[in-house]
Amino acid sequence: MIRKWLKNGYMTLIFLFLYAPVAVLIIFSFNASKSRSVWGGFTLDWYRKLLENDEILSALRVTLIVALASALIATFVATITCIGLDAMRRRPRTVIMNISYIPIINPDLVTGISLMLLFFFIRMKTGFATLLLAHIAFNIPYAILSIAPKLRQLDRNIFEAALDLGCRPAQAIRKVILPEIRPGIVTALILTFTLSIDDFVISYFTAGSQISTLAITIYSMARKSVNPQINALSTLLFVSVLTLLLIINARSSREAGNAKKTARKTNA
Amino acid sequence: MNQLFSPKKKTAVSMADSGWQQQLPDSTGSSHIIELIGVNKYFGEAHVLRDISFYIRQNEFITLLGPSGCGKSTTLRILAGFEQANSGQVLFEGRDLLAIPPYERHLNTVFQRYALFPHLNVFDNIAFGLRIKKQSRQEIRTRVEQALKMVDLQGYSERWVDQLSGGQMQRVAIARAIVNQPRVLLLDEPLGALDLKMRKDMQIELKDMQRSLGITFVYVTHDQEEALTMSDTVIVMKTGEIQQIGTPTDIYNEPRNAFVADFIGESNILPGRMTRDFEVSFAGRTFTCVDPRMENEAVDVVVRPEDVQLRQPSDETVNGVVTSVVFKGVHYEMLIETETCEWLVQSTDRAAEGDHVGLYFDPDEIHIMAKSDQSPDRVRTAGDDVQEQEDDW
């Protein structure tokens, strides 16, 4: 009894520790008082003001465009990369696969600074283009990570079966391979979109001074003054990223369920 | 180095070169739907097909039989167009097949692990080829229904692939291939994943299907019984070379070498020597046989276990002691230790362990084969077979 009570209490503490900051943030985004410690009643003012703030709206636009474009481009590149890799022999494929995963373990700071240096070096003016390129670059490995396993699971004869039934190679990829790996592609899209919205460090080094993403705007607002709009904006960001992550999780657990079902059927 | 010889000449040469590669006499001449001429294939350093030459007749059920790694699947994949030959020629109705990409060949394949499209239901799987060829909706419906009927799966068209059993998936795979009305159907160990009972049923169904459709079947298997049951012609392969081509009866009764004898059923294979025409000496005795051969030629002698008769030991018989008796249902399987070697005997007569017995066989049950460098390997059983190009991807 006490054991159980201790166990649950411990878990509650951990979750409290993890989520208390976010909870405070969300609560204070509805706080009528400007103070960060005193509750002054419920209000939606900060959200309303947010919608009138041009700086934030333009940052939101940049963030969404970059997120959408980088997600689409990175996923497209990753898809054809994976299909190509899959046709390679094992040794070179493993080598290329591992090289493409390295950026994932690279600290964002290093990626951001090295991208900035690269853009300086090739005399590319930092701005929207460099921001987008940077986001595509850090998104590609994650997209590959979501798509490659789907291709690996595929029956290797499926492509040949399509050729056998009269498909040209491009047709076979479109009619058979793409439908089979579509779950991986959709996951890649959501994941890269989320990562792109979420990113601060790499954007900070590659966006230049003219444009700004939401993350950068929040950062600079937080440095300048105490402004509850930050709370409101962060809450929105938190909720949208959380939603996307929940979608990804739901998708992958559903697939795991399906895989288990199929496996059971095959064994029976 | 591709074509040093004209196709006709090369065939003639390779036929004459190797007596044991001769194919059955062919009366019609023009009915060869497929002809392979000196096909070679390398995977890196490995020479997996060595000068493969044979022909396939119209409406024939032909089986490529051999242990895993013998090149049978590779041969089939070259026919389908998934693998390129490094040299040699393949003719399809007299025209060069190797220049045609797989999607334009009038061949369809049934894959070992079905390779059905999981994102499509049964109907759409079968309709796939017809849709690619832009058949009318009505035409597609009729032909798919026909194919479903052929494989006895009416009413399954709305099912998803993962709702089917292994046997049903295999039927869908067959329907998906035959719905395109191919001239030749290629089958790569299609029954390998099914259980024994299902396999037996499908063997009969496949044979019936081949007869009623009137198309040529090229079948790949490592299962000798399957090959003997279904085929018109069997091609026995080993390490990239053809060992023997013939009807099931020929292959079983007149194996050309020790490998074929051992692979097709169980055999007693003994070293022997011709003493003169129609007389061979082995197992410490001299026997009359039905083969004329060169005097003093070293040969392999094959006696099938079911051809050995048990008698009272005498001067006429090879004498030995029974060391083991196993009841097999129809017959007893016995091991008999003689002075020179151990014999496997299958007989309905029962002897007890420790009995002294005499082994007797009729002259026409003594099969004489040219001595080959291929001493019989341990024959693999179905269980430890692996797909051939596992490491290829």
Give residue limits of the domains in chain A.
Answer: 46-267
CATH superfamily of A46-267: MetI-like (1.10.3720.10)
Interface contact B111-A160, CB threshold 8 A: yes
Whether A157 sits inside 8 A of B112 (CB atoms) is yes
Residue A136 has pLDDT above 90, yes or no: yes
Given an 8 Å threshold on Cβ–Cβ distance, is A179 in contact with B162? Answer: no
Residue B69's CB: how many other CB atoms inside 10 A?
20
Interchain pair A155, B113: CB under 8 A: yes
Task: Give this complex's ipTM.
Answer: 0.74
Partner-chain contact A90 B107, CB within 8 Å: no
Contact list in A for residue B175 (CB cut-off 8 A) is: none
Lowest mean pLDDT among B18-22, B63-67, B268-272: B18-22
Task: Name residue B60's amino acid.
Answer: E
Task: Give, as one character, the DSSP assignment of residue B340.
Answer: S
What is the C-alpha R_g of chain A? 23
Report the pLDDT value the prediction gives residue A39, as an integer from 0 to 100.
Answer: 82
In chain B, residues 97-116 whose CB comes closer than 8 Å to chain A: 101-104, 107-109, 111-116
Whether B160 and chain A come into contact, CB under 8 Å, resolves to no
> B34: which 2 tokens?
């497929």
| pLDDT-derived band at B237, boundaries 50, 70, 90 | very high
Residue B374 banded pLDDT, cuts 50, 70, 90: very low
CA distance B283 to B309: 16
- Residues of chain B with C-beta less than 8 angstroms from the C-beta of A179: 117, 119
Whether A92 contacts chain B with CB within 8 A? no
**Which one of A157, A163, A182 has the shortest CB-CB distance to B102?**
A163
Q: How far is CA A129 from the centre of its chain?
A: 19
Which pair of tokens denotes residue A25?
């943030």
- Mean pLDDT estimate for chain A: 87
Measured in residues, chain A has a length of 268
Strand partners, B347: B332
Residue B311, pLDDT above cutoff 80: yes
pLDDT of amino acid B26: 47
Name the 3-class secondary structure at B241: strand
Q: Is the pLDDT of residue B381 over 50?
A: no
Alpha carbons B328 and A144: distance in angstroms, whole number: 57
Residue B14: pLDDT over 70: no
**pLDDT > 70 in chain B, percent:** 87
pLDDT tens for each residue of B100-119: 999 999 999 999 888 999 98
**Residue A142 confidence (pLDDT):** 94
Q: How far apart, in whole angstroms, are the C-alpha atoms of residue B380 and residue B191? A: 17
Structure tokens of B76? Answer: 């089939």
Q: Do A164 and B103 touch (CB under 8 A)?
A: yes
* Residue B391 contacts A, CB cutoff 8 Å: yes
Global pTM?
Answer: 0.74
Look at residue B13 and tell me whether its pLDDT is greater than 50: no
pLDDT computed for residue A56 by the predictor: 86
Say what the pLDDT of residue B341 is: 84
Cβ of A267 under 8 Å from any chain B Cβ?
Answer: no
